[in-house]
Amino acid sequence: MPLFGTDGVRGLANGTLTADLALSLAQATAVVLGQGRSAEQRRAQGRRARAVIARDPRISGEFLAAAVSAGLASSGVDVYDAGVIPTPALAFLIGDFEADFGIMISASHNPAPDNGIKVFARGGVKLPDVVERRIEANLGGPDLLPTGADVGRIRRFSDAEDRYLIHLLASLPNRLDGIHVVLDCAHGAASGVSPDAFRDAGARVTVIGADPDGININDGVGSTHLDHLAEAVVRLGADVGIAHDGDADRCLAVDANGRVVDGDQIMAILAASMHERGHLANDTLVATVMSNLGLHRAMRERGIDVVQTAVGDRYVLEAMTEGGHSLGGEQSGHVIMSEFATTGDGVLTGLHLVAEMARTGKSLAELASIMTVYPQVLVNVKDVDRERVSDPVVQDAVAAVTAELGETGRVLLRASGTEQLVRVMVEAADEATAHRHADALAEVVRERLAL
């Protein structure tokens, strides 16, 4: 079974994800990412490979960061420890510091007992599958470890957060003066830098979920638990709520009435703004197949093309890079603004969303109204053969529903990449219609693909 999943190596800390594994993975990463043209350049400059590491505040990150640092330094890599910062901050710092690669220790929106290791290549980009496989193949580490003066050093990256903060503020088209923002930092990695960024940009800020103790990350707070944020926004009479997840690569929002504004709506707002200001490259937005039909219709009405990808921010970024596009993301709140970031950045996204409110003088509800959200029903059909999802009877049923819905809906069947199940997603003009068709299709899948 592959070690790397859809977003790095993840598992129960000190269970499947041990200190030994973290050390071995770091050594293998040093072997693979310390090779090639950059290694020749380093030798010419008389320096060792450099790596930036960071973590979110969950308690297991402390021993895992120590293990990763030991693995890298024992392989001759100089380590710059940025401490607790968001994943997108690490990605930015790799490029800004001209490091050879970086490692983030975080399990994102997962609960505290879990943790993960994400590896970024030079420039702060996620690794392609082929490089991940090379790292797995080198898990034994180098044949000969350096000794004496050739081992790496471990240093504190003392101005890491300041560099990232300056970068965020420099990206903004205008200040946020006059906007009252409630921030939910998920007791996670953004607890320090996100409030500072919004305040420095001129917003009035109220903060919740910003008291990490190592075990409360994502616990009833953050982008996966928006009730507390919605209540706080309404109670305080704030203009907007911004929610991050544990490592702050996501952003979801709440309007002044407590209604959730998801990643699709955020992308619609940003795409329309960038299009209007001439900053939307190729007049194109990149989104996954799970993005709402309403997003597609809203973009078409404004002369904006939508490129679709498989689910996963890595596929969004690949399409953006190949096509030279400047905006893309997922319904879950991973939004990539390639002019300023190489990965989803929840703090950056939140700042630009609120900046659009300040620029236009419109409420978030007004801005979000450019997109009609179609009811979307998802049914997971378990214990079926996902390999036979192209069964003719199943596909005929999908075609029949698609024809009946016409332009007022959409059908999507997806085989899970990890489980024996098929996901049936139906969008329609009303929820009752979406449920009716989703349930009917799920029954066809259940009968035809039963194990």
Residues 289-314 have pLDDT tens digits of 999 999 999 999 999 999 999 888 88
Longest Cα–Cα distance in the chain: 72
The yes-or-no verdict on residue 37 having pLDDT over 50 is no
pLDDT at 34: 78
Q: Pick the closest to residue 110 from 6, 219, 9, 260 (CA basis).
A: 219
The yes-or-no verdict on residue 433 having pLDDT over 90 is yes
* CA–CA distance, 272 with 251 (Å, rounded to integer): 18
Q: Which amino acid belongs to residue 152? A: G
Catalytic residue among 69, 106, 108, 191: 108
Residue at a domain's end among 112, 129, 158: 158
Write the CB contacts of 188 (distance below 8 Å, at least 6 apart in sequence): 56, 57, 209, 212, 217, 218, 222, 244, 245, 246, 247, 248
pLDDT at 35: 64
Q: How far is CA 445 from the centre of its chain?
A: 31
Burial of 138 (0-12, 13-18, 19+ CB in 10 A): middle
In a domain, 2, yes or no: no
Q: Does 416 count as an annotated binding residue?
A: no
The yes-or-no verdict on residue 185 having pLDDT over 70 is yes
Residue at a domain's end among 99, 127, 158: 158
| 196 shares a domain with 168 | yes
Q: How far is CA 299 from the centre of its chain?
A: 22
pLDDT per position as a tens digit, 310-368 = 888 889 999 999 999 999 999 999 999 999 999 999 999 999 999 999 999 999 999 99
> Domain holding 417: CATH number?
3.30.310.50
In a domain, 4, yes or no: no
| 382 shares a domain with 360 | no
| 415 shares a domain with 299 | no
For 307, half-sphere exposure in the C-beta direction (CA atoms, 13 angstrom radius) is: 22
Q: Does 78 count as an annotated binding residue?
A: no
| 193 shares a domain with 126 | no
In a domain, 356, yes or no: yes
pLDDT at 366: 98
Q: Where are the alpha helices (DSSP H) in 361-421?
A: 364-368, 392-405
| 226 shares a domain with 97 | no
* CA–CA distance, 102 with 33 (Å, rounded to integer): 10
| 215 shares a domain with 106 | no
Q: What is the pTM of this model?
A: 0.92
pLDDT at 38: 54
Q: Does 247 count as an annotated binding residue?
A: yes
pLDDT at 386: 87
* CA–CA distance, 54 with 99 (Å, rounded to integer): 13
Over residues 224-236, mean pLDDT:
97
Residue 40 binned pLDDT confidence (cut-offs 50, 70, 90): low
Q: Where are the alpha helices (DSSP H) in 176-312?
A: 193-200, 227-236, 263-276, 293-301
| 120 shares a domain with 211 | no
Q: Annotated catalytic, 332?
A: no
In a domain, 298, yes or no: yes
In a domain, 184, yes or no: yes
* CA–CA distance, 151 with 138 (Å, rounded to integer): 19
Q: How far is CA 315 from CA 101, 132, 235, 243, in A?
A: 20, 15, 39, 24
Q: How far is CA 41 from CA 44, 48, 92, 110, in A?
A: 5, 10, 21, 39
| 141 shares a domain with 105 | yes
Domain limits for position 153: 9-158
| 428 shares a domain with 357 | no
In a domain, 221, yes or no: yes
| 236 shares a domain with 179 | yes
Q: Where are the alpha helices (DSSP H) in 151-192?
A: 160-171
Over residues 41-60, mean pLDDT:
84
Mean model confidence pLDDT for the chain: 94
pLDDT at 78: 97
Q: Pick the closest to residue 280 from 321, 329, 339 (CA basis).
A: 339
| 355 shares a domain with 419 | no
> Domain holding 60: CATH number?
3.40.120.10
| 144 shares a domain with 17 | yes
Residue 149 binned pLDDT confidence (cut-offs 50, 70, 90): very high
Strands 180-184 and 240-243: parallel
Residue at a domain's end among 107, 138, 158: 158
Q: Does 363 count as an annotated binding residue?
A: no
In a domain, 1, yes or no: no
Question: Number of folded domains in the chain?
Answer: 3
